[in-house]
Amino acid sequence: MTDSDIYQSVFERNRQWVKERTEEDPAFFEKLAKEQHPDFLFIGCSDSRVPASAIMGVEPGAVFVHRNVANLVVNIDSNSLSAIHYAVDHLQVKHVVVCGHYGCGGIKAAMQPRDLGILNGWLREIRDVYRLHHDELDAIDDPDETLKRLTELNVREQCINVIKTAVVQRNYLDRKAPRVHGWVYDLSNGYLKDLNFPFDEMLEKVREIYRLTPDPRKDLDLSGKNPPLPAKKKKDD
C-alpha cells in the first residue's frame, strides 16, 4: 500500500462507517448534530493506542476528550484548562477522569538524562512528580515497576491539579459534581484500572491551600455586615 493509498483508505472507511451507522439508526447523525451531553471528561495521553471512547466502550457523544503527551494538567496550559472549563461549566460533566497508561513514552523519556528540546519543559512536570515521591520510587528495585508506579503517581498528581482549578471547586460546591478519578490503562491486556483516587479527602486537603471559591465556614466575611476581627497586637504594645 502506498502512502497515498493509506491516506485515501481513511475516506473509504469513513463512508462505510456512515453507511453502517445510518442503517442501524437512520437518525444517528441528526441526533448527534443537535447537542452533546457527555457524562465524562477524559484527560488522557496522546498515544495512538489509548483511544478514549473505544477503551470505555462508549458511543460518540458520551465522553469529552482532551489528550496530550503523558496526560498532564499544567497550571499555565490554556489548552487543558479550557477543556476542563468547558466540560465542567458548560457541559456539566459528572466525572473527570485522568487516565495514564503503562508503557507511556512520555514517562520513559522524562526519566532519561537527555536534552529533549521543547519537550524538556513539558516533561519536567513528570520529574516534579518523581521528586515528590522519590522515597517510594527509589525503594523499588525493578526499573519497569518504577516506571509503572511513576505512571500511577503521575495520574494522582494530575487529579490533584484538576481539583486545584476554580471551576471544579465551584461546581462541586454548587452541584456536588464533578468527581475526579484516576485510571491507568494497561496496553498489554486492554484493561482499565481504577486507582481509587481519594477525591473527598484530596478536595478537602487541596482547598486548605488552593481554595479559589469562598467557604462560609472558613473564609472571612468581607461584606462589611459583620464586625471586623480584632487587630493583632503590635510587638511593642
Active site residues: 45, 47, 49, 101, 104
Residue type, 157: E
**Minimum distance, C-beta of residue 80 to Zn ion, in the bound complex (Å):** 15
Residue 155 in the binding site for Zn ion (CB under 5 A): no
Find the binder of Zn ion among 38, 42, 43, 47 (CB under 5 A).
47
Binding mask 88-127 for Zn ion (x = CB under 5 A): ----------------x-x---------------------
Rounded CA gap, 44 and 179, in Å? Answer: 16
**Minimum distance, C-beta of residue 201 to Zn ion, in the bound complex (Å):** 27
**Minimum distance, C-beta of residue 235 to Zn ion, in the bound complex (Å):** 55
Find the binder of Zn ion among 41, 43, 45, 129 (CB under 5 A).
45
Interface residues toward Zn ion, by CB under 5 A: 45, 47, 104, 106
